[in-house]
Amino acid sequence: MSDAAALEYYQRISERFPQPPQDVRIAAEEAARNGLEGINDDVMAKVAFYPWQRRFWITVVVVLTVGFILDPVITGSILSAFLVVLYSLTVYGRMRITFTGILSDPPKQDLLHLVADDDLPMYTILMPAYDEPEVIRNLVRAVDEIDYPHDRLELLLLLEEDDHRTLDALLEVELPASVRVLLVPPSEPRTKPKACNYGLHFARGKYVTIYDAEDIPQRYQLRYAVAMFENSPDNVVCLQARLDYFNDRQNLLTRFFSIEYATWFGCILPGLQALNMPIPLGGTSNHMRTDRLIELGGWDPYNVTEDADLGLRLAQNGYRTLVLDSVTMEEANSDTVNWIRQRSRWYKGYLQTWLVHMRRPRQSFQHVGFRGVLGMTTVIGLTPALAAVNLFAGLITVFFLVGLPSFLSGVFPPWVVYMGTAMFFFGNALVIFSSILAMIKMRKEHLVWACLLFPLYWFLMAVAATKAVYQLIVKPSYWEKTQHGLTEAGE
């Protein structure tokens, strides 16, 4: 489409859906891309590795390479010993967090009635979408179903200016009064966080939240969030609702995905909260105080897991995130190839997020404490790293068990073999055991048998993680070009 045609199209749309003046739009777009830079340029993931991090990892690779050339046995022993210890500690840490979460009692929902209708503040919902014409149907339904006074509800539908399919569909329906369509000027990076930043610029609500187009939040979620905010200390600036899948019985993959989500939102996040560790946010249904979010510079448009990044940034700034005991139903990814693509993006984002927050380790220790860094590293940094190692470790264990011990015992010192074997049996079993406990706690007993097959899911994770690590090393900026944040968010 030529520039003139694009302009003409824009004018036609903006007649129907009035847009802010052009200079305001350009300023907002600029802020959405670089707003964070002005506040704190260290926290953006424009580059994956900080100079010292790049030097550090290059040194590690060089030392290992030289080591393997000079004496593969000793280098292999040291490396495997290091990995086994790291792996054990991570499993311990994750189990500690999970079990703390399983034991934590969910907060009571009776807060619901604490805020009277008249006292409810303005609430903004950001709903980014890209190339999803079906969003319109959901949008109308969503506004209908949310139990919140409509005069105090603002739903900002964030669409790319050149997303003609969606816009064409939009022209054909009558939108509820509380919906406002915002057209994001086209520019790189075309990511969901950038669209959200743009929307945040125009948000009038005291609180703001994000829903994906196909999300089905619990009816009272906004009221409950307000009640919880009003009854929490000032430093609580974010509430993360629980995400769940409505198609968990569709196939084995969606079952696995549901088990993972139920454990993550039902046990790990409450565990992190109870242990006072930073909570990485989930993709949607995170409710925030608008003023504080703006103060912090919004989301990092260059980070592909901007939600996790924001959670850690809140913690770094002394703010707290709590878990909101309310569910938002989503659709689980049911296709394996698609799942691997999505997961490798998440894992790459996790690695990127961890690298960003470890750029100034001393500062991180000061801000979130030793425990916070530990939690951050266990949950964010080591999850993809060790998922990648898993593939390798699993293979070695299988070799060992089918009778190549004489070959391997030359490479690994015996205590590494014993510890690794113990990890293989007891570490893995403990993870499966904890997910069965989590399923019973979350009342998802129909998924329990799938827990027993979870190693298959680890295999998929390992593939995705290997892909993520490979891309991070070989093409650290690759995702910026391929990432279709808005479509993938809706996968």
Partner 1 sequence: MTTLTTPRRDASLWDVADSILGALEMVRRALFFIWPTYIFAAYVSCALFFANRHVLMGDALSRVASAWTIAQGFQPHLAAIGFVWGPIPVVPEIPLLWFGHIWRPLVTEVIAGSIVTAAFGAMGVYMLYHFLLERGVSRMTSTVLTLGFAFNPLILIYSTNGMSEIPYIALLIASLRYFSRWEIRGRTMDLGIAAILVGLASWDRYESIVATIAMAGVVSIIRWRATIDRPLPARRQTIFAHLLIVFMPTILFFGTFILFSWSLTGTPLAQFSSVYGNSSLVKIAGSPIIASVQVETVSNRLMHLAPFLVVEIFFLLVAIYFRRWSVRMGAIAIVGLPLLFDLYGLTSGLQFDFLRYLILAIPLVVVVGAELAVNGHAGSFVACVSVVVTMGTAFWTIGIPDMALQEYPYHQLMVGQEGATLSDVQLEAPTAVAQWLDAQNLPDDSILTDATYGGRVIVGSRYPRRFATSPDRNYFTIIDNPYQHGIRYVITVPTNTGAIYPINEYYPTMFDGCVPNTQLVFQATGLGRPSYWRVYKIDGPISPSSAVKSTHCTAPLPPNVF
Is the Cβ of residue 105 or residue 117 nearer to partner 1 in the bound state? Answer: 105
CB of 429 to partner 1, least distance (A): 5
CB of 440 to partner 1, least distance (A): 5
d(CA 105, CA 245): 22
Q: Which amino acid is at 156?
A: L
CB of 274 to partner 1, least distance (A): 14
User: Which candidate, 114, 163, 60, 80, places its Cα nearest to that of 490?
Assistant: 163
Is the Cβ of residue 175 or residue 430 nearer to partner 1 in the bound state? Answer: 430
Is the Cβ of residue 393 or residue 417 nearer to partner 1 in the bound state? Answer: 417
Query: H-helix or E-strand containing 145?
Result: helix 135-145
CA 218 remoteness from chain centre = 20
CB of 329 to partner 1, least distance (A): 20
Is the Cβ of residue 101 or residue 199 nearer to partner 1 in the bound state? Answer: 101
Is the Cβ of residue 1 or residue 401 nearer to partner 1 in the bound state? Answer: 401
Q: Which amino acid is at 294?
A: I
CB of 99 to partner 1, least distance (A): 7
CB of 40 to partner 1, least distance (A): 40
Scanning 323-453, the segments in alpha helix (DSSP H) are 336-357, 361-376, 382-401, 405-411, 414-422, 428-441, 448-452
CB of 389 to partner 1, least distance (A): 22
DSSP 263-325: HIIIIIHHHHHHTT---PPPSS-EEEEHHHHHHHT---TT-TTHHHHHHHHHHHTT-EEEEEE
Is the Cβ of residue 361 or residue 455 nearer to partner 1 in the bound state? Answer: 455
Is the Cβ of residue 104 or residue 321 nearer to partner 1 in the bound state? Answer: 104
Going by the DSSP 8-state scheme, the letter that residue 250 receives in this structure is: S
d(CA 88, CA 97): 14
User: Which candidate, 164, 442, 408, 249, places its Cα nearest to that of 327?
Assistant: 442
Is the Cβ of residue 98 or residue 290 nearer to partner 1 in the bound state? Answer: 98
Contact in structure between 382 and 86 (CB atoms under 8 Å): yes
d(CA 18, CA 20): 7
Rg (CA), the chain: 23
CB of 256 to partner 1, least distance (A): 16
Give the interface with partner 1 as residue ranges (CB under 8 A): 99, 102-103, 401, 405, 414-415, 418, 425-426, 429, 432-433, 436-437, 439-441, 445-446, 448-449, 451-452
